[in-house]
Amino acid sequence: MAELSDRTRRNAGDAYQLDRSAGRLQVLEHHARDPMVKVQSLTFRYPNGATVFEGFDWHVERGQVWAVIGSSGCGKTTLLMLLAGLLRPSAGQVWVDNKPLSRPRPRTGLILQDYGLLPWATVWRNAALGLDIRAFYGPDGIHAPADENLEDRDERVAYWLKRLGINHLAQRYPHQISGGQRQRTAIARTLALRPDLLLMDEPFGALDAPTRQDLQQLTLQLCQEQNLTAVIVTHNIEEALYVGQHVLVLGQPPQRTARVVQSPRTSTVDWEETRRSSEMQRLVEELTDLIGDEGHEMA
């Protein structure tokens, strides 16, 4: 397994206490001040017997943006589905907003790789879909927050379509707009629900480079504006270091220890300068070697 530099481990140590003598990323102890997400002694195995997580602990503090990377089959999407309440742990517990998670919660927003848009619905109707589902069930505390008020449904949809720059596409259908515009529609649908936790699975992977960078920056701005806690799964190391304040590195399953790197980026403004820095290049190379070595071990 490739080793990470002492500089990398010191960066990660801002949030985590790390084993510097082991020559690898390994968490010894994590003191979360205000956890929005707490994964406690998590074990998860699929019915075929494959164990993905075993006694796994991890915390995400309120308002933080995390990226999750790792080779194919390491459990990135599985972790996201566990945080969304769409999968149940075999043992241990996932906590969200200081409550044990037993089912999907109405204030968690989930954006999948294929955007999940209805092909027969316009951009407007797709953006309003979550609110319409809430209206169907009512404020029951399960499908919609108990304090939900949908009198401003149209205003919410209109606001987010305009904020995301797609209000002029409101009456078009998904096949009539670009991939970036479809992604913006999915983001509008999610943010109209006023989530406090945003989960994104490979959200930018299918987009061209300029559109991808634009949406990465927009996502970070929205997270800051809305005080969102976010977990973003990606296979792109540079993207992970850009969108994530911290990067969770998953290795060969089963995952037993949270290995974390802190991004060298301090703001979206200086990203191009950071991207060209020797520190950033070294960090990308180290993570590429680490993930590549473990990918070969899994093959």
Tell me which residue of 82, 93, 95, 71 sits closest to 46, measured CA to CA. Answer: 82
**CA pseudo-torsion sign 264, 270, 272, 273:** negative
Find out whether 110 and 102 touch, Cβ atoms under 8 Å: no
- Alpha carbon 47 to its chain centroid, in Å, reads 25
Given a cut of 80, whether residue 279 has pLDDT beyond it is no
Report the chain's C-alpha Rg in angstroms: 19
Task: Write down how long the chain is.
Answer: 299
Q: Is the pLDDT score of 214 beyond 50?
A: yes
- State the burial class of residue 119 (Cβ atoms within 10 Å of its Cβ: 0-12, 13-18, 19+): exposed
Q: Which amino acid is at 74?
A: C
Instruction: Please report, for the chain, the start and end positions of each structural domain, with discontinuous segments joined by +.
Output: 1-62+69-102+235-299
> What mean pLDDT comes out for the span 141-146?
92
**Chain-wide mean pLDDT for the chain?**
85
The CATH number for 1-62+69-102+235-299, chosen from 1.10.287, 3.90.1310, 3.40.720, 3.40.50, is 3.40.50
* pLDDT higher than threshold 70 for residue 12: no
Query: How confident is the model at residue 298, as a pLDDT?
Result: 41
Query: pLDDT-based confidence at 203, cuts 50/70/90?
Result: confident
The pLDDT, as a whole number, for residue 274 is 66
